Structure 1
Amino acid sequence: SFGITVTIPELDEWDKMTLLGHERDMLGLYVSDHPLLGLEHVLANTSDCTIGQLMLDEERTDGSPITISGLVTSVQRKITKRGDAWAMITLEDLDGAIDVLLFPSSYQLASPHLIEDAILTVKGRLSKSKDQPEIHGQEVSLPDISDGPSGPVVISLPSTRCTGPMVEQLKDVLSTHPGMTEVRLRLLTRDATKVMRLDDRLRVTPSSALFADLKALLGPGCLSS
């Protein structure tokens, strides 16, 4: 036999986003991981609901304002008959995907952010004029993904709404998302704010589903600082 020695150079490992990008390009899906895993808190804090919930929400009417965060998986840049640039992007979270249309009035400011694998927050209005819901984007921003979730989950509630039935509903929501994170209830009155630490049996796992359930029960401002 021939004594042939082949030297294989040592190469640096791809970072997570590069590896996942190649997986999606070659296979059409993510295999080893998902770019949004570990960022559930970012999606929850910057979205009105998950994309999956939005796609199935029959009560949310055409033209309703909506804010959604997710990963850009497709960018199609287009030109109108008048020569104005616009784009359609696909935004994906851990629960679904939706097309976002950015017409010329919104496209100009959003354009630098419209890159595949970018994580964006889109504010706009829901469109139900086609078979599948779409979002007509008005504003695009980059959510802060530098920090992980910190501290307890703090829920704000006007004291006038803190009734027995409401407390029971809140307990039900928290109980369906059990975990290790402390929950605090901030009761708001006209003159003061009182913060209470909830029972350890109501500790939760922060997730987009938890925050969507809390917002559905208490309103979109219940998690604001």
Structure 2
Amino acid sequence: MSSRFEELDWQPTPLGDLTLRRRTEPAVGVEVYEVKLGDEFLMSSLFTVAEEDLATLGLAAAARQELDVLVGGLGLGYTAVTALRDPRVRSLTVIDALPAVLDWHRRRLLPVSAALMDDDRTELVVDDFFARMRREPPTGAPRYDAILVDIDHSPRHRLHPSHADLYTADGLRSLARHLKQDGVFALWSDDPPEPEFTAVLAEVWTHTAGHLVAFDNPLTGGVSTNSVYVAW
């Protein structure tokens, strides 16, 4: 630990070294949790607006009064705990390929871990989300009212080449088999909404939207953006 950084966990993974660290951000004087994969910054607790909006916007499109929700990619947990705040959610399944990420929350290392782990509706599963979406759901397997995904940087900028097929019409049709008939798919992206990907979504779903999410960036003194796609 240095005067500014504390490494809370480090794990080698097939995608690179995964690091969870905590530091104080001098620009705002708050404690910040960050995740790095190799040399890439994956996420920061300083910027969670779009991750929360992934759940808010996705579930807003869901019509049922009781919702079974699947989250692909746990990360710092903000999408999952935002989903749990919707009183309609009766079950929340979170899939992550990296056991270390699930373990962080089981060990209560992150600010929202207790809210996530102490809620009986939560189930954490170690699995390859992309591989699961390719497979035909087994007989009797649950279908979901909403699938919320935050794994890759964007449909164009992926953490691994094997993820590419999800962002095609055929890949999304495979994912849709895991949804109920009126289910919702929502996706976080670091890039602005791309008309090309919105067109791909429209091949599978009747309604599509690409939301630009703006938030204050205390590091730059300006405004940054992410995006959330919703299809239903």
TM-score for the superposition, normalised by structure 1? 0.25
Structure with more strand by fraction: 2
